[in-house]
Amino acid sequence: MSISYAPAGKSGKWDGALDWLQMLTGASLILFMWCHMLLVSSVVISPRLMNAIAGFFEATYMAQVGGPLIFLGFLLHFVLAARKIPFRAEGQKTIWQHARMMHHGDTWLWVVQIVSAMLILVMGSIHMWVVLTDLPITAAKSAARVQSGFWAVFYFFLLPLAELHVGIGFYRIGVKWGFIKDRERDKFKRGENLLTGMFIAIGLITLIRFLFLSVN
């Protein structure tokens, strides 16, 4: 039986390129998530403001074109990240044992990011499918969906999962690619925790606003 394999140098180049693509898709999704949160939270100021912003994206076809592109970027990012995720029970057990043994904060952050990624893959896909197949986006539609009951619970779970994943991802990108030095890690973590908490708070206020918004 013959075994063929690619030279180590070639394999290393491909891994490096895929890591860069993973970083770029991740950074793009982080930026999108923050912009998306600010867009949706405009309903807190005024439903008319949210409708006006959503109407602009509709009129310029950014929603019709950008929405599917974001969805494809979302799936591509997961596929790229999945290269490093242990899917077998044995690998998962090893990661869990190492995390408990090492008591290393960054290792636990990676574990949280993996678990949240699995849940976000399913829940995020459902959310994007429901929104993109029911255009145009309006404050009344969003409020009616949240007030249905099921979706309120759905979003109250998805919101912290997404923001935790985004916050950890932002931190890990900075560490991995050298933007954050070792001596700056604690300071950056505190800032990122504050930013994540702020976005979760904005999201919760937005959901509560939708719960009490008139849909008539």
Domain count for the chain, please give it: 1
- Looking at residue 91, its pLDDT comes to 53
In a domain, 59, yes or no: yes
Query: CA-to-CA distance for 46 and 52, rounded, in angstroms?
Result: 10
Determine, yes or no, domain membership for 6. Answer: no
What pLDDT sits at residue 214? 80
pLDDT for position 7? 47
Report yes or no on 216 lying in a domain: no
- The answer to the question of residue 151 being in a domain is yes
Where in the sequence is the domain holding 109, given as residue range(s)? 13-211
Q: Is residue 23 part of a domain?
A: yes
Q: What integer pLDDT is reported at residue 4 of this predicted model? A: 41
Residues of the chain with pLDDT under 50: 1-8
Q: Which residues are annotated as a binding site for heme b?
A: 36, 77, 127, 165
Residue 165 forms part of a structural domain: yes
Q: What pLDDT was estimated at residue 204?
A: 94
Contact 209, 49 (CB under 8 A): no
**pLDDT number for residue 216:** 65
pTM of the predicted model as reported, rounded to 2 decimal places: 0.77
- Binding positions are 36, 77, 127, 165
> Does residue 4 belong to any structural domain of this protein?
no
- Identify whether 120 is part of a domain: yes
Could you check whether the bond before residue 68 is cis, i.e. omega within 30 degrees of 0? no
* Residue 173, amino acid: I
Query: How high is the pLDDT of residue 173?
Result: 81
pLDDT of residue 52: 93
| Closest-CA residue to 146 (of 58, 46, 73, 214) | 214
What span, in angstroms and rounded, lies between the C-alpha atoms of 173 and 176?
A: 5
Domain CATH number, residue 113: 1.20.1300.10
Q: Could you write out the DSSP letters of every residue in 17-86?
A: HHHHHHHHHHHHHHHHHHHHHHHHTHHHH-HHHHHHHHHHHHHTTHHHHHHHHHHHHHHHHHHHHGGGS-
